[in-house]
Amino acid sequence: MLGADGSCKQAVAGVLADRLGNGQAANSVNTGAYCKARQRLPLAPLKDSATNVGARLHRQSAKAWKWHGHNVVMADGTTVQMPDTPENQAVFPQQTTQKPGLGLPIARMVALISLATGSIIDYSLGPCQGKQTGESSLLSPLLSALSPGDLLLADRYYCTFAIIALLQAMGIPVLFQIHANKKVDFRQGQQLGAKDHCVNWVKPKRKPVWMTAEAYADLPDTITVREFSVKGVVYTTTLLSAKTYPKTAVALFYRERWKVELDFRALKTDMGMELLRCKRPDAVKKEIAVYFLAYNIIRGNLAQAALRHDKVPRQLSFKSAVQLLAQASRQVVALTGVLLRNVVQAVVKAMASTAIGQQQRKSQPRAIKRRPKPYPLLMSPRQQACSTL
C-alpha cells in the first residue's frame, strides 16, 4: 500500500529485491503464488489489526494533545470506487443515475478518527444505496468503540436524538452543528447567555431505520442539550456548562472537525485509496483493511516522533512520513542491533522535522490549470464500444 503503484507485480519484485540483498536465491516474478496466498488471508484478523492499532494509539494520546481533558473522536463518511466487475457491482452497485456499464462500483464508509493522533479507531463499510446504507446507519455499530473520556465531534448530519441519547447514556459528550431540519428558539429553556441555552429535546415518534423498535423504546423520552449561536451558526452539544465551555471557545474548537477531511484526503490521495484495485468484494474489503492498517502504522510513527521531540502529531506531515517509511523500509529489513536502532531513530527524527501548517498564503481557487487529455467520455459499455471499432 505504500508502494508506487500497489500492484501484485511490485510486491513480488520487492520480495525479489529483499532476497537478493540478503544473499539468497532469486524467486520467480510470477504473481500467481502471491495472489493465491493473498486470497487465503481472512478478513477479520486484518480488520482487527487495523482497528486495534488505531484504538491503542488513540487511548495512549498524551495529555497535551487533548481538549479540556477530552480525547476527541471525529466521525465522518466518504466513498471509494473499485473496478467495474459483476462481482463488485452485485455488492457495491454503481449510482442509479448512471447507465449500466458506464459507472464504477462505489462503497460508502464511515470512520471514527482520533483528533489527537489521526488514527482510525474503527470503521464500517456498506454499499452507497439501499436500506440502512446511510452514514447514520453505518455509524451506529461504531458507537461501542467509544469510551468514557472521549468526545464525539461531527457535522450536522449526525445531530439526531437517537445518537445523542445513546452517547449520553454512555457518558460521552458530543459537539455538532445543528441539524438543518431542527428549529431553534432561544426564548425557551434555561438561559445561559445571549443565544445560549439548555433545552429538552423530545423523542421523535418515528425511530431511525438502524434501530430496532425495542432499542428505540429503551431511549429516554427527553434529553437535555445545549444550543448556542456564534456568528449566525448554531451548534448543539452536551457540554452544558457555559462557564467551563464558553460558546465562542467551543465554536472555535469546532473548526478542528475539518481535520477529518484532511485525513480522508491523506488516505485517498496521498495513499491512493480513492480507486481500489481488487476485482471481488471480499478482496476489496481486505484491501481497505490493509490500507487502514498501513495508515495507522504511519500515524503511530508520527505520534512517536512527536512525543520524542516535543511536537504535536497534527503538526507533522503525513505525506513526508509516507515517503520516509517507503524508502527506509527497504533498508531496515536486513539491519539488526545498534545499526537498526540508529536508522530508526534517524527516521523518527526526520519525521519530527517535517512541520506543516506554518505557511501563510492566500486562499486558492478550487480549479486546475493543467488541461485534461481531449478524450471523449465512454458513453456505452466497454465491450460494446470495442465491438464498434
- Domain positions in the chain are 1-40, 41-278
CA 239 to chain centre: 25
- Tell me the residue type at 27: N
* pLDDT tens-place string over residues 140-167: 999 999 999 999 999 999 999 999 999 9
- C-beta of residue 320 within 8 angstroms of C-beta of residue 354: yes
Q: Which three cell numbers stand for residue 155?
A: 457535522
> When comparing pLDDT for 142 and 5, which is higher?
142
CA atoms of 191 and 226, how far apart (whole Å): 10
- C-beta of residue 110 within 8 angstroms of C-beta of residue 142: yes
pLDDT of residue 340: 87
46-56 mean pLDDT: 96
**pLDDT band for position 358 (50/70/90)?**
low
- Tell me the residue type at 45: P
Q: What DSSP character marks residue 35?
A: H
Write out the CATH class of domain 41-278. alpha beta
Helix axes 281-308, 32-40, angle to 10 degrees: 80
* pLDDT tens-place string over residues 368-381: 898 888 888 888 88
Q: Which three cell numbers stand for residue 81?
A: 470506487
pTM of the entire structure?
0.91
Least confident stretch, 7-21, 289-303, 312-326: 7-21
Q: Which residues pair with 200 in a beta bridge?
A: 224
- C-beta of residue 330 within 8 angstroms of C-beta of residue 17: yes
Q: Supply the mean pLDDT for the chain.
A: 91
> When comparing pLDDT for 330 and 181, which is higher?
181
Q: Which helix (H) or strand (E) holds 233?
A: strand 233-237
- C-beta of residue 137 within 8 angstroms of C-beta of residue 306: no
37-44 mean pLDDT: 92
Query: Of the candidates 116, 124, 8, which has an alpha carbon nearest to the alpha carbon of residue 62?
Result: 116
Long-range residue pairs from 125-133, CB within 8 A, at least 24 positions apart, any chain: 125/285, 125/288, 127/91, 127/92, 127/93, 128/79, 128/92, 128/93, 128/95, 129/93, 129/95, 129/96, 131/209, 132/209, 132/210, 133/108
- Tell me the residue type at 123: Y
* pLDDT tens-place string over residues 216-250: 999 999 999 999 999 999 999 999 999 999 999 99
5-32 mean pLDDT: 86
206-230 burial, b if ≥16 CB within 10 A, otherwise e?
ebbebbeeeebeebeeebebbbbbb
DSSP states of 40-53 as a string?
Answer: HS-HHHHHHHHHHH
CA atoms of 356 and 342, how far apart (whole Å): 25
* pLDDT tens-place string over residues 246-289: 999 999 999 999 999 999 999 999 898 999 999 999 999 999 99
CA atoms of 365 and 222, how far apart (whole Å): 45
CA 215 to chain centre: 28
pLDDT of residue 281: 95
CA atoms of 292 and 298, how far apart (whole Å): 10
